[in-house]
Amino acid sequence: MKTSPQPTRHARNPNARAWSRVLSLVGIVAAVALVSTVSIAAVGAWTFTSKVEENAVDIHPEQGEEQAPPAIGALEGGFNVLVVAADNDANQSQDLYGERDGATLNDVNMLLHVSQDHKTAVAVSFPRDLIIAHPECEKGDAMSAAPINEAWGRGGLPCVVATVSELTGLDIQYAVSMTFDAVIALTDAIGGVPICLTGRVTDDNVVYPDENGVLQHLDMPAGITEVKGGLAAGFLRSRHGVGDGGDLSRISSQQQYLSSLVRKMKSNDTLGDFGKLYSLANVVADPQYFTLSTSLTKVDTMVSMAQALRTIDLNNITFVQYPGTTNDPDYPGKVVPTVDAADQLFALIAADQPFTLGADSQPVGSTTEPTAPTDPTVPEAPADPSVPAEPAAPDAGAAPVLDGVTGSTAQQETCAVPFED
């Protein structure tokens, strides 16, 4: 399998009607906000819309006047969503994350694709140190190879959108950026998210505020912990506490959190709780936490997207990492794309082709939930040696197996594995 520091531009699908939207490291949280706008419409949609429009960003200024959003319930076709969490954001808490010098970096980048028939969804996480080509942006010329998290400093959210779109070949018409503080607010609004750990996780490099506002170092016990507020942010930020102590392990933690979040948000406990939905929507509308693209500020657009998302089965929501290797001597400590696997992944996404992950698909720092029920093994009857074996007929309807890509479905319950020196 070949690797290259200058990734191939994946072919665009001319037949795909890409309606891009919001969701990532809590991106899918935005889905809740979207679902919650159904309730908001009955309470005060104008107020909500006004708040998000005041802080919106045009990610496609070159396109001029945008297409009118669909009426409620009329959303058709597939769509893509880019959600970005920026480190060193001007709105982040200095007490929590410290005063930092240097450029703002798009350290969390997740692209969600929902299929044309609204039956499957794939969320792709991009390692912050992924070495890729960058297009020309407002504040910088094109580059042949640089970390993906330099895109924000070269032109903010519009530049991140252009960079990810060029890499993947997918049109992105909707996007959202969020601060680290948004994780605290969203987790509090939903009432906590259960996280499984195979052992005690500690990280002296992570500081978070407890329920009394007192700063603590990350120290979580083995088993299931309902993470809320600052603890949720601490767990998601931890790099040295899980897996191999690297950034890819942190992505695993974020995907585990999102899977658990999606399961909770799709439960009746959340979707049937107007108070939680309204609180979530107000968090998304707060410029202290979120900035939406101008194309995503209409309530009817949000509601239409929510109606498409809420019907997708958990088994058909897949979280994957953009395939790459950390073994390239030209880029020590960085992630270089594994081009063959990336090409195959985005060819399937562009074609809306469902797929399953290979047997060794669990990412670094994650393992399948040890307490999850498994089907008992049924012994097979011994074969009659006098009867020639019939060749197995291929299953024409079986989804292709995608090897070389790590991840899991939202239905799978996984546990984070502590880092060991």
User: In this predicted model, what pLDDT tens digit does every residue of 30-73 receive, in sequence order?
Assistant: 443 433 333 333 334 445 566 667 778 888 877 765 555 444 45
Q: Is CATH 3.40.630.190 what the domain over 27-188+246-360 is classified as, yes or no? A: yes
Q: Give me the pLDDT at residue 102, please.
A: 62
351: its two tokens? 């074609």
User: In this predicted model, what pLDDT tens digit does every residue of 234-243 receive, in sequence order?
Assistant: 898 888 899 8
User: In this predicted model, what pLDDT tens digit does every residue of 111-158 receive, in sequence order?
Assistant: 989 899 989 999 999 999 999 999 999 999 999 999 999 999 999 999
**Who has greater pLDDT, 308 or 31?**
308
**Who has greater pLDDT, 238 or 396?**
238
Distance (Å, rounded) from C-alpha 183 to C-alpha 283?
10
Q: Give me the pLDDT at residue 397, please.
A: 64
* For range 13-24, the mean pLDDT: 29
Percent of the chain with pLDDT over 90: 32
* For range 201-218, the mean pLDDT: 89
The pLDDT of residue 295 is above 60: yes
Q: Give me the pLDDT at residue 282, please.
A: 78
pTM of the model: 0.78
The pLDDT of residue 223 is above 90: yes
Q: With contact defined as beta carbons under 8 Å apart, do 281 and 48 qualify?
A: yes
Position 187: which residue type? T
pLDDT level of residue 405 (50, 70, 90 thresholds)? very high
Mean of pLDDT over the chain: 76
> What region, left, alpha or beta, does residue 335 occupy, with left being phi > 0 and alpha being psi -120 to 50 degrees?
beta
Q: Give me the pLDDT at residue 18, please.
A: 24
User: In this predicted model, what pLDDT tens digit does every residue of 150-191 receive, in sequence order?
Assistant: 999 999 999 999 999 999 999 997 898 888 778 778 888 888
Residues with Cβ within 8 Å of 30's Cβ and at least 6 positions away in sequence, in order, are 21, 22, 23, 81, 83, 176, 284, 290
Helix (H, G, I), strand (E, B) or coil at 112: strand
57: its two tokens? 């960003």
Output the 3-class SS for 189-245: HHCCEEEEECCCEEEEEEEEECCCCCEEEEEECCEEEEECHHHHHHHHHCCCCECCC
Residue 257, CA atoms < 13 Å, CB-side half-sphere: 29
Q: Which of 72-76, 149-153, 268-272, 368-372 has the lowest mean pLDDT?
A: 72-76
Helix (H, G, I), strand (E, B) or coil at 379: coil
The pLDDT of residue 319 is above 60: yes
Domain range list for the chain? 27-188+246-360
Q: Give me the pLDDT at residue 96, please.
A: 54
**Who has greater pLDDT, 323 or 96?**
323
**Who has greater pLDDT, 389 or 208?**
208
Percent of the chain with pLDDT over 70: 71
